[in-house]
Amino acid sequence: MGFKKMSDKKQVIIAAGGTGGHFFPSIVTGELLINRGYNVHLITDSRCQKYLSSDSKFIVHIIDSKINNDNFLTKYLSIIKISNAILKSLFLLLKIKPNIIVGFGSYVTFPPLLIALILNVPIVIHEQNCFMGKVNRFFAKFAKKIAISYEETLNFNMGNKDKIVVTGSIIRENIKNIKIKDSFNNNPFRIFVFGGSQGAKIFASLIPQAIEIVIKSIPNIDLYITQQATKDQQIEIAKIYEDLGVQYKLSEFFHDMENQYEGQDLVISRAGASTTSELAYIGLPAIFIPYPFAAANHQFYNAKALEDGLASWCFVQNTLTDNILANKIIELINNPALLKQASSNLLKRRSDGNKVLADIVEKIIKQIHT
């Protein structure tokens, strides 16, 4: 039996961390629950602290528990770190006495979800990717509900099918305000290149080489490239674009994605959960180059789901060349109807996933604690 609360105000724990793909949906959902009158505790790791605003209304708890299996020493240190994280989670849950815990995947969520299971606190999990991660798969059989962003989500146990709820994407509010494009036949043709929260080194060489081929094939094309790159990379990239007569903007990291997305015709990026969800919501087509070392290759499945729905294009990094990429860009520039079709198919996936998930959480709390 879960905890009984003396206070009328219910306590919700949200556990998320690791990358923005796990973290951003948790923040959006948590903010909605706060607005509905809940005390929301956020358990995350130190890496995700940078995403929290100074005026955040969350009660934040930092618990680091990343596993490193490189060698015997790192494995041993990881075991110690995980043990400490589990112990911290035990004391924290005993203190908070939560009515429910919502896990958004990644190693960060394992210790608090394990303690929640031991203490019989109701569990809800949310999977942002098209391929369910290890932690979510482990706790799926214990969860009250399994929320997923993709209807095409793979590899969950069919025995848990009755628990599945398709929420659709969970999108940050600043992204929701972006104006949807009605035309992709623009001058200049704008391309936004970024590698997600982890960056993408290969883009620094691959993209400029492909753009050079595009310019040679369409000499009169007017291009504007917005690209994420390190300071060292920017020097060479800037020289290439200047020699080609291409307008450009370079930055190490874009903190205002809502402004960067605005007015773009095409994105070239990795295929993390936040990226694919945001592009689907605003109807901005992309050439996805999934990060090949992502856990269980989940970025590939995210991108492939959109490609199969004629909503974007997916290329595997180790078989992609500058010529192949350039030819796809040329095809899309010459045939903007393809971009318009992809945009329309992306927009079919729009949803208010945070509301759907918050409703699920509220319903479970009311069922158990009334």
Number of domains, the chain: 2
Q: Has residue 4 been placed in a domain?
A: no
Q: Among the residues of 189-261, which ranges form H helices?
A: 203-217, 231-244, 257-261
Over residues 146-178, the pLDDT tens digits come to 999 998 887 777 677 899 999 988 998 889 999
Residue 185 Ramachandran class (φ > 0 left, ψ -120 to 50 alpha, else beta): beta
Whether residues 188 and 269 fall in one domain: yes
Whether residues 104 and 208 fall in one domain: no
- C-alpha 132/C-alpha 173 separation (Å) is 25
Q: Is 63:42 a contact under the CB 8 Å cutoff?
A: no
Residue 6 has a pLDDT of 44
Whether residues 340 and 364 fall in one domain: no
Distances (CA, A) of 326 to 222, 302, 337: 15, 23, 18
pLDDT of 295 higher than 60: yes
- Token representation of residue 103: 């896990």
Residue 36 has a pLDDT of 96
Residue 77 has a pLDDT of 74
Q: Has residue 129 been placed in a domain?
A: yes
Average pLDDT, the chain: 91
Q: Has residue 3 been placed in a domain?
A: no
Q: Is 302:189 a contact under the CB 8 Å cutoff?
A: no
Whether residues 206 and 246 fall in one domain: yes
Q: Is 113:123 a contact under the CB 8 Å cutoff?
A: yes
Please name which of 348, 275, 272, 273 lies closest in space to residue 310, comparing C-alpha atoms.
348
Q: Has residue 5 been placed in a domain?
A: no
Whether residues 16 and 37 fall in one domain: yes
Q: Is 50:62 a contact under the CB 8 Å cutoff?
A: no
Whether residues 224 and 309 fall in one domain: yes
Q: Which residue has the tokens 């391929």?
A: 131
Whether residues 133 and 157 fall in one domain: yes
Whether residues 147 and 225 fall in one domain: no
Q: Has residue 2 been placed in a domain?
A: no
Whether residues 20 and 160 fall in one domain: yes
Q: Has residue 230 been placed in a domain?
A: yes
pLDDT bucket at 265, cuts 50 / 70 / 90:
very high
- Count CA atoms within 13 Å of residue 203 on its CB side: 27
Please name which of 177, 175, 156, 174 lies closest in space to residue 165, comparing C-alpha atoms.
156
* Structural domain containing residue 215: 176-347
Q: State which H helix or E strand residue 64 sits in.
A: none
Q: Has residue 1 been placed in a domain?
A: no
Residue 221 has a pLDDT of 94
Over residues 182-205, the pLDDT tens digits come to 888 778 999 999 986 556 789 999
Residue 22 has a pLDDT of 87
pLDDT of 8 higher than 90: no
Residue 27 has a pLDDT of 94
**What percentage of residues in the chain have a pLDDT greater than 70?**
92
Residue 67 has a pLDDT of 64
Whether residues 197 and 299 fall in one domain: yes
With H, G, I as helix, E, B as strand and everything else as coil, classify residue 116: helix
Q: Is 153:169 a contact under the CB 8 Å cutoff?
A: no
Distances (CA, A) of 23 to 26, 126, 168, 270, 272: 5, 11, 16, 17, 12
Whether residues 323 and 244 fall in one domain: yes
Q: Has residue 199 been placed in a domain?
A: yes
Whether residues 91 and 142 fall in one domain: yes
pLDDT of 1 higher than 90: no
Q: What is the CATH number of the domain that holds 329?
A: 3.40.50.2000
pTM: 0.87
